[in-house]
Amino acid sequence: MHAVVVYESMWGNTREIAEAVAQGLGEGTPVIEVATAPALPDGLDLLVVGGPTHAFSMSRPSTREDAGQRGAGADSSAPGLREWLAGLPGDFAVPIATFDTRVRTVRHLPGSAAKAAKREVERHHHGTVVDAVSFYVHDVAGPLEDGELQRAREWGAGLAAAGIDGS
Ligand SMILES: Cc1cc2nc3c(=O)[nH]c(=O)nc-3n(C[C@H](O)[C@H](O)[C@H](O)COP(=O)(O)O)c2cc1C
């Protein structure tokens, strides 16, 4: 399967998940930071995109600035997943899987960047969204909850297996 993982990450938690998903998808699967505005190769079987949940959705310039003020290491002025997805061509027909990282709260909040990315893709007819999954961090800056990297590897492997079966 020819897959690419494109991610956004302010503190590095989503990057760690992206790398684990790529391992599960198969050796050599590229993992690309969205701020580099990657152009996608021809012949792609699956695009996996992920970012941090900010204000119940994908990040925006204002939430990235907020993260920067809270000490995040990434360049908070760089474009995020929301902007990159909006720039995909309207006839983009490659299957897409979305993921995010978010905090598990006592009163579990429904909003997630993965679901927002799914809606964005569906609204603009950018291919089919095959799955949208959340992975969890302990707090705004992380770290990831125990077991999340393993779950990410397994999710990637499952996506690859589904692709190979043609299902
Ligand atoms: C401005 C801002 C808003 C956030 N809003 C939410 C939210 O609505 N729901 C949530 O679960 N986590 C929220 N978070 C926590 C992020 O999801 C968390 O910082 C992210 O998973 C860390 O991933 P990263 O290291 O890849 O940036 C927010 C964080 C920031 C900085």
pLDDT of residue 84: 95
Contact 17, 101 (CB under 8 A): yes
For residue 30, pLDDT over 70 is answered with yes
Q: Is the dihedral angle over the CA atoms 112, 117, 118, 124 positive or is it negative?
A: positive
**More confident: 64 or 107:** 64
Least confident span in 10-24, 71-85, 105-119: 105-119
Q: Which of 7, 9, 11, 54 to mutate to test the pocket of ligand 1 (most atoms within 8 A of CB)?
A: 54
Q: Which of 8, 53, 65 to mutate to test the pocket of ligand 1 (most atoms within 8 A of CB)?
A: 53
pLDDT bracket for residue 165 (50, 70, 90)? low
For residue 18, pLDDT over 60 is answered with yes
* Binding site membership of 101 for ligand 1 (Cβ less than 6 Å): yes
The protein residue with its alpha carbon nearest to ligand 1, atom 4, reads 54
* pLDDT tens digits for range 120-146: 999 887 679 999 999 999 999 999 999
Q: How far is CA 118 from the centre of its chain?
A: 10
pLDDT bracket for residue 37 (50, 70, 90)? confident
* Binding site membership of 111 for ligand 1 (Cβ less than 6 Å): yes
The protein residue with its alpha carbon nearest to ligand 1, atom 14, reads 54
* pLDDT tens digits for range 62-80: 999 999 999 999 999 999 9
Percent of the residues in the chain that have a pLDDT greater than 90, as a whole number: 81
What span, in angstroms and rounded, lies between the C-alpha atoms of 117 and 53?
Answer: 10
What span, in angstroms and rounded, lies between the C-alpha atoms of 112 and 133?
Answer: 9
What span, in angstroms and rounded, lies between the C-alpha atoms of 149 and 15?
Answer: 11
CA distances from 77 to 6, 64, 65, 133, 136 (A): 18, 7, 7, 26, 25
**More confident: 66 or 93:** 66
Contact 17, 25 (CB under 8 A): no
* Binding site membership of 81 for ligand 1 (Cβ less than 6 Å): no
What span, in angstroms and rounded, lies between the C-alpha atoms of 20 and 152?
Answer: 6
Mean pLDDT of the chain: 93
pLDDT bracket for residue 38 (50, 70, 90)? confident
- Fill in the DSSP letter of residue 40: P
Cα(73) to ligand 1 centroid in Å equals 14
